[in-house]
Amino acid sequence: MQFHLNDISHQSWWPVKDFKSLKSCVSKTFHMMTTNPANPDTLHVLYQNSDYIVVDKHWDIRIDSKMWYEKHTVQAQLRHHFPQLADPSTYYGFRFCHQLDFSTSGALCVALNKAAAARAYRCFKDRTVTKAYLALIRGWVKEETLTLDFSIGKNSTEGKTHMMCIEGTEGCENPKPCQTELTVLEYGMYDGDSVTKVLLQPLTGRTHQLRVHCSAIGHPIVGDFTYSSGTDNAPYRMMLHAHLLHIPLDPEPLLVSAGDPFIPTVDSKWLPQHSVRTLTATVEALLQRRVEEDRRVKEEESERVRKEEERRRHRKQQRSVKESEEQRRQCQEWLSEWAGD
């Protein structure tokens, strides 16, 4: 089974019954990506049904906030565009299925009712969700594919408590295992400096994971002020974008693409020089690996169930044998007693 996501940069969502029947649908609300700041009208909906809305979150906007001065949030945008869908039983009116950092743009799934939120939550909890992010990172990464394997914990150092850090860093508390797959797409220049365009697939879901992992290998994300010790403040945004989101919902999974904002027609400071692989082919391969992994997990689960059933039948047979032997013994005793009488 092979995937062919034709012209993925111009398609935003694919509802799929299963991986065998992938159907692509061109969004009727395709928008021009921009370097302009967010405002209440800049909400772009990638997908919507009776249970979910998937939006293309703008960069430098919070999902929600309890602070009175935080006027521009995704929650406020949703209330502005869809006041009839807000749920008064929730604090924010909408149930966000996952998180994106303030500086990160891209696909964000919102549940429209409690049951839908629970179904999505189970997928995230069971780690069956597939996410992939586009990023521009500083320097040229030598290895074209990397598995970044650094445990990440909370930074307790004074002045850095808003940050995360890798295990072994001074002040690192409660580090947990984290893995990220990095795939190089292009090499080029950003505003005169060497950068690499990569696809990042988080295999775990720790706070700031992608930012910390890229920084840990000496290739921080372009525009990441926090994890560049406050030095990378020239770009208009942090170059991290949630490009792909697949949630295996039942009965109809969601496969959503939020496009590619890191192209010269959007930001002329980004000048690609050498392409290693296309985004489309890389995403196809990622999804194919996920299909194979899901198949392997299902086969292992089927084998586990089969073996457990065999053990159950064996135990039942052993009990039957023991019961038959006990019955024969009692019968012999009765016959002996009868013969004696």
- What residues are labeled active site? 101
Which among 90, 21, 100, 87 is positioned nearest to 54, based on CA atoms?
100
| Own/partner long-range contacts of 288-296 (Cβ < 8 Å, ≥24 apart) | 288/1, 288/2, 288/3, 290/130, 290/246, 291/1, 291/19, 294/19, 294/128, 294/248
What does the alpha-carbon distance between residue 272 and residue 186 come to, in Å, rounded to a whole number? 7
Contact 33/39 with Cβ under 8 angstroms?
A: no
Which among 326, 84, 320, 103 is positioned nearest to 233, based on CA atoms?
103
Length of the chain: 341
Which among 230, 227, 195 is positioned nearest to 211, based on CA atoms?
227
Question: The tokens of 186 are what?
Answer: 């292009």
CA–CA distances in Å: residue 139 to residues 160, 193, 210, 276:
25, 8, 16, 15
DSSP string, 10-42: G--EEE-SSGGG---B--TT-----SSPP-TT-
Written as one letter, the residue type at 202 is: P
- For the chain, where are the E strands, in sequence order? 13-15, 44-48, 52-57, 95-96, 105-111, 130-138, 145-149, 152-155, 164-166, 172-176, 179-190, 193-202, 240-247, 254-257, 270-275
What does the alpha-carbon distance between residue 188 and residue 274 come to, in Å, rounded to a whole number? 7
Question: The tokens of 108 are what?
Answer: 């964000």
